Amino acid sequence: MFYCKNPYHMKKILFLITLFFIAYSAQSQNYVISAGGTVNACAENFYDSGSGGNYGANENFTMTFHSNNPTNTHFRFGFNSFDVEPGDTLIVYNGSTIAAPVLGKYNNNNLPPAYVFSTIANPTGDLTFQFKSNAAINNAGWWASFLCTPACQEINALYHPGLTVPQPGDSNYIDICIGNPITFGARGSGAAFPESGILYPQDSTNVTYYWDFGDGVLDTGQIVTHTYTLVRGYDIGLSIVDSRGCVNTNYLGGRVRISQSPFAEINPLPDLCSSTDTTYVTIGYNAGSVVVVEPISSVQSASEKFDSTLFIPDGPSCPVQCYNTFVQFMAFAPGATITSGADILSICVNMEHSYTGDLGFRIICPNGQSVTLDPNTHSGGAYMGEPYGGASHGSYDNGCDQANNPYGVGWTYCWSEVYPQHGTLDALSNGVSPIDSTNTVNNTNYITSNNPLNGLVGCPLNGTWNIEICDDFGIDNGYIFWWELNLDPALLPVGWGYQVPIDTVTWDGSFFSIINDSTIRVIPDSGGTFQYTVTVTDIFGCSYDTTLSIQVVQTPVFSLGPDTVLCGNNINYVLDAGPADAWAWSTGNVTQTQPVSSTGYYIVQVGNYNDANTMACTSFDTVYIKVLEQPAPVDLGPDICSIVPIQLNAGNIGFQYEWSTSATSQSINVSTTGTYSVTVAEEFGYNCEVTDEIIVTIIPEPVITIGPDTTICSFNHMNMTVKDQDGFLDQFFYSYLWSTDPVTPLNGQTTRTVDFGCITPGVDYTVSVAVQGCTVVSDARIVTAKNCELELYNIITPNNDYHNDAFAIKGIENFPGSELQIYNRWGKKIYESNNYDCHPMEDGSVVGTNCWDGEKSADGVYFYVLTVNYGESLECVEVVNYHGTVTIIR
């Protein structure tokens, strides 16, 4: 398996080569570029001019490599380390001289790939290296191992877009949620093998794919699936080895970034009262948020810390004398190792302990190699930090149980061979107590390890590192609060990191309004336990949610009702404050209901408690109850009709009165007809009132007349009206009932005026009327009918002798409105009257307002037409029109 770092950011590079390279390099010959010339060899080592030290200034050396193997004619160089200052350059030519095509120019700004090959276009298979340096800075140079190989066709490690799930983005990153698997797929043809067939076939069926997932796990195959368990960034390595052992020269450049739930802290929500309380549920980065989130981030670090308090009890008196704590590294290149004691910048502990000379410290690397930082010398009484109890610490050495041994204050102490030191811990423990702590900011007061840290050379960088602390001498104890291992950051493959910001926030629940995407306002209007779920989705598309619960205590909802008036006979009235946990009445009552018997304000506070009984949700109500005396029933008596004024009395002496007349006295005098009512109460405007009503009719007794006895024509009609001398009939309501004897249609008429006629001649009719108000009075008259007939004359003598001077009709006065027309012998009308009134007297004279005396007409015979007016009596007579002649004789 081969691993390559990102060539754009590294200043120092380490590569793994095949086991063959590692095994062979122990016996191989070393070639230094400053020797120049042509090297005929295979499977050797190639160095800069320093050969373990730094190269020199102003160098310009050239060396050509030629295979001494007739079968494996080409070269493959793998750089185990590379450190060339950017002002200097190592140039590689694809041939035997510097006139050949350039394969690459490399320094720390342009690092070489994992392998440098002589290509199939190079018939010699030779590679030529030229190194040029300036006089500025001289770095460590390089160490490369090379093999002779058959001529290789180009191989490119590329993701297959259809087989890789999820697909990488434009930056070749795969972003995924923790726990989700990734399927890695490599291209098996085409661009992966652009020179396939030139010398031999290349495709997915005759090559081997080696995957390095960056977390120490390896796999083979064109398609592989892997699930990461730690949140961080990973560089993905892919090496493709074909049937000739040729390997891709490019770096896949793939990276995986892992996201996980950003929820750092969930603070409980307060209990609320319904309808009255409100709370804001926030999600944010600050500690004051209800849901505290920390954006997921990953930074490759060369430092790891164990951050947990560990008790170190007294050595010989407890079962275990040595205590171990661990840190784990996974950020370095797989297989990378400690190459120098300077690779370890510092080993720091934060602790307190008495009698430091009793302690021993040892650092243990992942493969079991170790270095004793300080041995158990059993000498020296200085303290580390500030043990609990100070100088009398021994009295606090209370056995092996941590609960019986309070901890003190930890100070930080660091071992280092890089930073300034002030002696070994063994020597310092014989000095002033407590021992001076290490200043990790200004890098002073570091401790010298009793044994050199290069004893850790060869230790894997990745894996579990352990610090062992042993107390094997009595009468002391202490605590370690944290320890930290700091390796050289230059050993990191690539110092890249990332952060996963939150993209969207959504909320779900009841009774809330959204203030913004990070805050909701909760105003519950009913009691219960309500859940609010916040879901965050990061820019990787990973969604995470958490649910918070709020207990909402139902604020009592009740009403004592409106202010109420109670009557004296309803004193069993009870106020009800509704179900709740507690009640407090202004009367001192603490139950749900409150009987009412007197006038006053009644106030109640009602409360419900939360489950913890630490919060009460209360509400108040007040009602005014007025208790009034109920008056006795009022009886104004039955409806009454009277010819004189009367008095009405409501009783209930001492109460208030409201009469329909607006009177407010106990009794009133009534002189007019009407409906009278009274309301009686102790106090008006409430429901403690009694009422009664009476209809009073005041109608005086009239003195009436319908007229004297009279005689009329039998066919005539006469109007009769009841009259009274006091005018009462016009002022009051009376009823009328007429009758006649013998019976006529007049019987039963009820109007004040009646029409009477069409009666039998010679009969006396007694007409009577009964007038009723509050009493009944009556009157009667006799009406006699006579026959009324006409007698016409046919000669007039208009000579002014007052005898028969005009055309007189006997009885015409009984027919007013009769019509008369006179015609001459030629039929010409010579006279007309619409109301002819001319009748004879006993002495032969004629009287009337309309009398025809012939006027200027000549003597002779004339014709008349008389239309008699019977008025409204036509129903009882036979109408006859009179025709005849009248003769004028003078």
Q: Please give the C-alpha separations between residue 302 and each of 305, 462, 599, 884, in angstroms, as whole numbers.
A: 10, 10, 85, 160
Closest Cα partner for 714 from 769, 747, 756, 755? 756
What pLDDT shows up at residue 298? Answer: 78
> How far is the C-alpha of 271 from the C-alpha of 616, rounded, in Å?
10
Indicate the SS3 state at residue 489.
helix
CA atoms within a 13 Å half-sphere pointing along the CA-CB vector of 801: 9
Residue 494 has pLDDT above 70, yes or no: no
> How far is the C-alpha of 824 from the C-alpha of 473, rounded, in Å?
181
Phi then psi for 67, rounded to 5 degrees?
Answer: -70, 140
b/e sequence 862-885, b meaning 16+ C-beta within 10 Å:
bbbebbbbbeebeeebeeeeeeee
Mean pLDDT, the chain, integer:
87
Read off the DSSP letter of residue 639.
-
Read off the DSSP letter of residue 191.
G
Q: How confident is the model at residue 877 (pLDDT cuts 50, 70, 90)?
A: confident
What is the percentage of the chain residues whose pLDDT exceeds 90?
A: 58
In CATH, the architecture of 791-888 is Sandwich (2.60)
Bond before 840 cis per omega within 30 degrees: no
Phi then psi for 660, rounded to 5 degrees?
Answer: -65, -15
> How far is the C-alpha of 723 from the C-alpha of 597, rounded, in Å?
66
Phi then psi for 704, rounded to 5 degrees?
Answer: -120, 165
Instruction: Give the model confidence (pLDDT) of 784-836 as tens digits.
Output: 988 888 888 899 999 888 888 999 999 898 888 889 999 999 999 999 999 99
Strand partners for 331: none
In CATH, the architecture of 704-786 is Sandwich (2.60)
Q: Which fold has domain 173-259?
A: Immunoglobulin-like (2.60.40)
> How far is the C-alpha of 706 from the C-alpha of 765, rounded, in Å?
14
Average pLDDT of the segment spanning 111-139: 92
Q: List the structure tokens of 773.
A: 């108000």
CA atoms within a 13 Å half-sphere pointing along the CA-CB vector of 843: 4
CB contact set of 235 (below 8 Å; sequence gap of 6+): 5, 6, 214, 254, 255, 493, 494
CATH superfamily of 13-149: Spermadhesin, CUB domain (2.60.120.290)
> How far is the C-alpha of 608 from the C-alpha of 578, rounded, in Å?
11
Residue 2 has pLDDT above 70, yes or no: no
Q: How confident is the model at residue 452 (pLDDT cuts 50, 70, 90)?
A: very high
What pLDDT shows up at residue 10? Answer: 31
- Give the DSSP per-residue string, 756-818: EE---TT-EEEEEEEEESSSEEEEEEEEEEE----EE-SEE--SSSSSS-S--EETGGGSTT-
> How far is the C-alpha of 763 from the C-alpha of 769, rounded, in Å?
19
> How far is the C-alpha of 580 from the C-alpha of 586, rounded, in Å?
17
Higher pLDDT, 644 or 232: 644
Specify whether the CB–CB gap between 324 and 361 falls below 8 A.
no
Q: How confident is the model at residue 97 (pLDDT cuts 50, 70, 90)?
A: very high
Q: List the structure tokens of 420.
A: 């300034």
Average pLDDT of the segment spanning 638-665: 94
Read off the DSSP letter of residue 221.
S
Specify whether the CB–CB gap between 821 and 804 falls below 8 A.
no
- Looking up tokens 């409980």 gives 268
> How far is the C-alpha of 446 from the C-alpha of 213, rounded, in Å?
38
Domains 13-149 and 303-491 share a fold: yes
Closest Cα partner for 447 from 435, 457, 431, 433? 435
> How far is the C-alpha of 701 from the C-alpha of 728, rounded, in Å?
8
Residue 30 has pLDDT above 80, yes or no: yes
What pLDDT shows up at residue 187? Answer: 96
What pLDDT shows up at residue 22? Answer: 36
> How far is the C-alpha of 97 from the C-alpha of 74, rounded, in Å?
15
Q: How confident is the model at residue 17 (pLDDT cuts 50, 70, 90)?
A: very low
Average pLDDT of the segment spanning 464-489: 83
Residue 24 has pLDDT above 70, yes or no: no
Give domain limits for the chain.
13-149, 173-259, 260-295+493-555, 303-491, 564-628, 640-692, 704-786, 791-888
Indicate the SS3 state at residue 375.
coil
Instruction: Give the model confidence (pLDDT) of 543-595 as tens digits.
Output: 999 999 999 999 999 999 999 888 876 678 899 999 999 999 999 999 999 99
Instruction: Give the model confidence (pLDDT) of 612-624 as tens digits.
Output: 999 999 999 999 9
CB contact set of 689 (below 8 Å; sequence gap of 6+): 631, 679, 680, 681
> How far is the C-alpha of 349 from the C-alpha of 373, rounded, in Å?
12
Higher pLDDT, 748 or 249: 748
- Among the listed ranges 169-173, 333-337, 515-519, which one has the minimum average pLDDT value? 333-337
Residue 757 has pLDDT above 90, yes or no: no
Instruction: Give the model confidence (pLDDT) of 340-393 as tens digits.
Output: 989 899 999 999 888 888 888 999 998 889 999 998 877 778 888 988 775 444
What pLDDT shows up at residue 20? Answer: 33
Q: In CATH, which of 2.102.10.10, 2.60.40.10, 4.10.320.10, 3.20.10.10 is domain 260-295+493-555? A: 2.60.40.10
- Looking up tokens 């009262």 gives 273
> How far is the C-alpha of 839 from the C-alpha of 848, rounded, in Å?
6
> Is the CATH number 2.30.30 carried by domain 303-491?
no
Indicate the SS3 state at residue 592.
coil
Task: Quote the Cα angle for 639-643-646, to 5°.
Answer: 60
What pLDDT shows up at residue 146? Answer: 92
- Looking up tokens 């500030």 gives 386
Average pLDDT of the segment spanning 83-107: 95
Q: Please give the C-alpha separations between residue 862 and each of 806, 823, 827, in angstroms, as whole numbers.
A: 13, 6, 9
Length of the chain, in residues: 890
Residue type, 735: S
What pLDDT shows up at residue 65? Answer: 97
What pLDDT shows up at residue 334? Answer: 66
Read off the DSSP letter of residue 343.
G
Average pLDDT of the segment spanning 310-315: 78
